[in-house]
Amino acid sequence: MGLFSIFSNKSAKIKEYKAKGAVIVDVRSSGEFAGGYVAGAVNIPLNQLTQRMDEISKLNKPVVFCCASGVRSAKATAVAKNAGIDGINGGGWRSVDNAWM
């Protein structure tokens, strides 16, 4: 499986979640978020995620997590799945933005 295949699979998964009515949760800091983000994304910094998990749960929607590179969003996805939330790691916010269009 080549690198292109990995990215196209991730893009397809993001599009699948969008079709399911997913919400995007950007787990970067508020300062990073202010520098650019996916339209409609909710900013919940990773260090606040555990305390705000109820907020995500109440959305009652699948979640696409993103950050700058995919590392923090991977951690956020694991936390969400442990809480019973349907979520995926979308990776970097720019990749999510491109796939979300």
Going by C-alpha positions, the residue among 56, 59, 101 that lies closest to residue 82 is 56
pLDDT greater than 90 at residue 4? no
- To which H or E segment does residue 26 belong? strand 23-26
Chain-centroid distance of CA 53 in Å reads: 14
Q: Mind listing the pLDDT tens digit for each residue in 22-59?
A: 999 999 999 999 999 999 999 999 999 999 999 999 99
The residue written with tokens 């919940």 in the block is: 44
Q: Residue 25 maps to which CATH number?
A: 3.40.250.10
Nearest to residue 67, comparing CAs of 93, 100, 38? Answer: 93
Nearest alpha-carbon partner for 30 in 44, 11, 41, 13: 44
63, pLDDT greater than 80 = yes
Domain encompassing residue 19: 3-100
Residue 6 to residue 51: CA distance in whole angstroms: 32
Whether this prediction's pTM lies above 0.75 is answered by yes
Q: What does the block give as tokens for 90?
A: 């979308």
Residue 8's pLDDT band, with cuts at 50, 70 and 90, is low
pLDDT 10s digits, 65-91 = 999 999 999 999 999 999 999 999 999
Q: pLDDT value at position 10?
A: 86
Domain count, the chain: 1
